[in-house]
Amino acid sequence: MSVPSSSRSWYHTIDLPDGSTTPGWIDTRPVARLVPWPSSLRGGRCLDVGAFDGFWSFEMERRGAAEVVAIDVDDPEELDFAIDYKAAGPEHIREIRAERGPGFAEAKAALGSSAVRRNRSVYDLDPIEDGRFDVVVCGAILLHLRDPVLALERIREVCDGTLVLVELVDPILELFAPRYPSAAVRPYADQWWVTNSPGMEKMLSMGGWDVVQRCPRFLFPYGPSGPSRPDQSWLTGIAARRPGRRGILGRIWLARPRPK
């Protein structure tokens, strides 16, 4: 695999037109094939929440979106870190050169993409300033937020169509509390909570959403620069019904704003 010349660390694994692939920490390419994309994507106005290097923005554009807006928070100090991680978290992001923004700009230029990125927190989404969207992709961000339900409420304010929620689920809770809405509190330092499937559906409902589709669980594969010794347990493989396989357990939901 050939890689782009820049020495930044990449979160997303993105195929570029010159045949190179960004050496991401995670590889969301197979996950995009599992999404039951709504028909409103083609020709639609789409939002990518917490875009990082922009994989989902470029994927929606590739699948025919007319306009893509990506939002993320540029300043690591403004991310929701818990109190004992407030200094170390932003410092760590700078140290490993995983800033939000430069990777998106580099991939956007290489792809000739028209996606527009805004330095904007999900908490600040506003229909007057941001407009309204036909499709919103929200990937692996709720677990990093102090207030995921507020984030869901804010996304609802700008969504006229379908939310594609791609989120991690906790393997232990999936296996041992499969019907009880629950969350593991801070399973890893940069996370707040990881729910089980009923827990996520309860949060969606609290945020004003109706779930219209729940897809099967899957394993997010790590990318070329992912951990050599994944810290997720063998339970993830079992919960994903793929014993022996490693990755991060995830699930996709489609939801629509519940009418007020």
Ligand X SMILES: C[S@@+](CC[C@H](N)C(=O)[O-])C[C@H]1O[C@@H](n2cnc3c(N)ncnc32)[C@H](O)[C@@H]1O
From the CB of 74, what's the least distance to ligand X, in Å?
A: 9
From the CB of 213, what's the least distance to ligand X, in Å?
A: 18
Ranges within 219-258 binding ligand X (CB under 6 A): none
Residue of 10, 25, 37, 52 interacting with ligand X (CB under 6 A): 52
From the CB of 51, what's the least distance to ligand X, in Å?
A: 6
DSSP labels for the chain?
A: ----S-----SB--B-TTS-B---SB--HHHHTTS---GGGTT-EEEEES-TT-HHHHHHHHTT-SEEEEEE-S-GGGS---GGGTTHHHHHHHHTT--TTHHHHHHHHHHT---EEEE--GGG--HHHH--EEEEEEES-GGG-S-HHHHHHHHHHHEEEEEEEEEE--HHHHHHSTTS--EEE-SSTT-SEEE-HHHHHHHHHHTTEEEEEEPPPEEEPB-TTS-SS--S-THHHHHTT-TT--SEEEEEEEEEEPP-
- CB nearer ligand X, residue 28 or residue 236: 28
From the CB of 73, what's the least distance to ligand X, in Å?
A: 5
User: Judged by CB under 6 A, does residue 50 bind ligand X?
Assistant: yes
Number of residues that bind ligand X (CB under 6 A): 21
From the CB of 45, what's the least distance to ligand X, in Å?
A: 18
User: Judged by CB under 6 A, does residue 35 bind ligand X?
Assistant: no
- CB nearer ligand X, residue 35 or residue 173: 35
Q: Which stretch binds ligand X (CB under 6 A): 71-79, 82-90, 107-115, 245-253?
A: 71-79
CA distance 105 to 29: 19
Q: Identify which of 114, 9, 113, 112 has the alpha carbon closest to the alpha carbon of residue 52.
A: 9
- CB nearer ligand X, residue 33 or residue 259: 33
User: Judged by CB under 6 A, does residue 55 bind ligand X?
Assistant: yes
- CB nearer ligand X, residue 90 or residue 238: 90
Instruction: Give the contact letters, 116-145, x = binds to ligand X (CB under 6 A), - = no.
Output: -----xxx---------------xxx--xx
- CB nearer ligand X, residue 177 or residue 186: 186
Q: CA 69, 70, 72: angle at the middle one, nearest 5? A: 150
Interface positions with ligand X (CB under 6 A): 28, 50-52, 55-56, 71-73, 79-80, 100, 121-123, 139-141, 144-145, 166
